[in-house]
Structure 1
Amino acid sequence: MTTIALAAAAAVVLVAGILRAAGASLVRTPRADAVQDAADGDRRAEHVARLLVSRPSLQPALGLVHTGLMVVAATSATWALTRSTTGIGLVVALALLALLLLAIGDVLPRGYGRGHPRMLAYRWVFLLRPAVRFGRAASDLIGEEDGEEHEPNGTHDEDDEAERELISSVIEVGDTVVREVMVPRPDMVTLPATASIDEAVALSVEAGRSRIPVLGQGIDDVVGVLYVRDLLSLFDDDSGHRQVADLARPAYIVPEAMPVLDLMREMQNDRDHLAIVVDEFGGTAGLVTMEDVLEEIVGEITDESDDEVPLMMEVAAGEYLVDGRMAIDEFEDLLGVDLPNEDWDTVGGLLLGLAGRVPAEGESFDLDAYVLTAEQVHGRRIARVRVRTR
């Protein structure tokens, strides 16, 4: 019986040591690193990132569980020793037991965990998650039984929930590529290289743009990007006759299949806020800004230069006007439906796929329980779609 008790004590102290090492690794893990690893597809990192949302409560919760395990191990080992050893031998055995418990169950694993952030947290997250949940629940129960009065923590809970949602957004955007968030080629605001400074200023004011691509021989020949702030020092008598090609900065070119998070990191490192997106043949597919990337993570960002017309608005019961540029995924989420999008990314593209050609304004097509009508067509582009239930 004493052998079983000692074996049980050894197993429990081993678990306590692993928990101590993993917990030390967890609290030393930068949350930004965990979020990035999660966005790259590491499910363990996703769980770690969610735990780190409430970092201040991690150590008390894990500490409570660790203490419980150490008490169980010490009790079991002491019971076994008192039945197999007496006298001075028992005193020595208990002293050695205390040293071993402290070393194996606490000091050594804690030091090792602090020196290996992320690695141990990821490896043992399956142990950390239930331990944190149990520790928090036990802590709350103990506090209630002691009659402690806690300050209302609604604000903290709301903050934690907001952070969890943000982490979820970053993780979800991990598979998103630039083509899905860019401003498409037909919607780009551009300037010819031969445009004058006065024309550039006028377009900037009219379109509300601070950075404008400059074109050479056409849309596929982007020779640079004009930063409107570079014009501020040129307001003299002769500045209006200069051409924007003289002021254009080199364009930052990215492929349309580039992951959005990779683009954000490069933009941060290079301090670029606008990139020209090219397709596999080198043609201009569109442009993407830092704001486009951030909106994919945190939601729509509206400023004074944005058009106030929403991408989708309900005009009657079961009837909607939808911007043709609206992403199909977003459209599905708002309507609560699952549409066959095939190779199309936008609602306008979906209607093109249904028609098999560019539809005429007012032309309608059936799609499951919905009727899609080409409300506005600009050239070969479907600008607005009317969607109604049958």
Structure 2
Amino acid sequence: MLKSPYTRLPLWREQPDNIVGILHAKDLLRALNAADWRLDKLDVLKLSAPSWFVPDTTSLQDQLNEFLKRKSHFALVVDEYGEVMGLITLEDILEEIVGQIADEHDIDVPGVRPQPDGTVNVDGSVPIRDLNRHMDWSLPDDEATTIAGLVIHEAQTIPEPGQAFTFYGYRLEVLRRQRNKITALRIKSLNK
């Protein structure tokens, strides 16, 4: 928890898709203090809040209303099969409405590495939405969640390393692939 930049962490049992609760850093610190900082006296599951799952088809307006109604800032997003796709926060929604909200705890997006030549090396698992925010880009995220998913969707195939595609004003080159998964790309905005 200390190495995480987040204050709320999903807890899972046996496999990552089996989310059993949400642990807030403040709750953990209060409980540790009350237990004289002895980890053996803690049951993190009892400290956690219930998980809240929302469909990936929920509109921003509906999700904002639910956050306000529930007085919550955090939900897990699931697809039509109940698979966890990621998470959404109240801050995510507000940033979609008013633009980036910077604070002292914001960090760079893991897996996004701008290069001196103006290109950006990106892990395939990076969410398009995070990449767009971090780079001030406008890649579409309605057909895919990750940048690798977008390339596969647009290419209509799983590309080989070295293949490059140009769409939506960006050049995307596949750098690495493991089995059927694109693991690394190089992206150049053609608009700047």
Q: Work out whether the TM-score is over 0.5.
A: yes
Shift of 1:250: 0.7
Q: Which residue of 2 aligns with 1:160?
A: none
Alpha-carbon distance change, 378 to 301 in structure 1, aligned in 2, over 3 angstroms: farther
Q: Which runs of 5+ in 1 are unaligned?
A: 1-203
Aligned-partner residue type, residue 227 of structure 1: H
2:128 to 326, 334, 342: 326
SS of residue matched to 2:10: strand
1:222 to 9, 19, 32: 19
Q: Which residue of 2 aligns with 1:276?
A: 76
Alpha-carbon distance change, 278 to 327 in structure 1, aligned in 2, over 3 angstroms: closer
Shift of 1:272: 0.8
Alpha-carbon distance change, 342 to 246 in structure 1, aligned in 2, over 3 angstroms: closer
Q: Distance in 1 between matches of 2:116 and 2:170?
A: 15
Alpha carbons 1:348, 1:385 under 8 Å: kept: no
Aligned-partner residue type, residue 45 of structure 2: A
Q: Which residue of 1 aligns with 2:157?
A: 356
Number of equivalenced pairs? 179
Which protein has the larger Cα radius of gyration, Structure 1 or Structure 2?
A: 1
Matching of residue 285 in structure 1 with residue 85 in structure 2: yes
Shift of 1:206: 0.5
Alpha carbons 1:322, 1:387 under 8 Å: kept: no
Bigger fraction of residues in strand: 2
Q: Which residue of 2 aligns with 1:239?
A: 38
Aligned-partner residue type, residue 108 of structure 2: E
Q: Distance in 1 between matches of 2:25 and 2:156?
A: 41
Deviations 1:186-242 (A, max 9, x none): xxxxxxxxxxxxxxxxxx220121111111231221111111111233233473013
Alpha-carbon distance change, 219 to 341 in structure 1, aligned in 2, over 3 angstroms: closer
For the aligned residues, what is the CA RMSD?
3.7
Alpha carbons 1:252, 1:272 under 8 Å: kept: no
Alpha-carbon distance change, 341 to 325 in structure 1, aligned in 2, over 3 angstroms: closer
SS of residue matched to 1:357: coil
Q: Distance in 2 between matches of 1:238 and 1:314?
A: 43
Q: Distance in 1 between matches of 2:79 and 2:47?
A: 26
Q: Which residue of 1 aligns with 2:188?
A: 387
Deviations 1:301-352 (A, max 9, x none): 2223322369685743xx5316443349x59xx679xx89883355432222
Q: Distance in 2 between matches of 1:345 and 1:283?
A: 13
Shift of 1:376: 6.3
Mapping 1:1-390, distance limit 5 Å: 204-235=1-32, 236-237=35-36, 239-241=38-40, 242-308=42-108, 315-316=116-117, 319-321=118-120, 323=122, 324-327=126-129, 330=132, 343-353=143-153, 354=155, 356-357=157-158, 359-360=160-161, 363-367=162-166, 371-375=171-175, 380=181, 382=183, 384-387=185-188
Q: Distance in 2 between matches of 1:286 and 1:312?
A: 21
State TM-score, norm by structure 2: 0.72
